Amino acid sequence: METLEENILNVTLLEPRQKHPTIFLRYDALEEGTSLTIHNDHDPKPLYYQLLGERGNAFVW
């Protein structure tokens, strides 16, 4: 039986100016078909639109 490892990024521990750059680094390192769960403490809509604008419609939210 294969065990899937959860890929979780807790950005609540980061300085605000480091959050989006860190998320983008982790996103860019993802292999096709894998996922990233972001534990966040603010409205995710700006991040969604930034990802959409900079990476295109290449992800599922």
Contacts of 52 (CB under 8 A, 6+ apart): none
Handedness of CA 12, 13, 19, 21 (dihedral sign): negative
Rounded Cα gap, residues 17 and 60, in angstroms: 24
**For residue 46, what are the domain limits?**
15-28+40-61
φ and ψ at 38, to 5 degrees? -110, 120
Q: What per-residue confidence (pLDDT) applies to 4?
A: 57
pLDDT at 45 exceeding the cut of 70: yes
Domain count across the chain = 1
Is residue 2, in this structure, part of any structural domain at all? no
> Is the pTM above the cut of 0.75?
yes
Neighbours of 45 (CB within 10 A): 8
The pLDDT of residue 5: 67
54 lies in a domain? Answer: yes
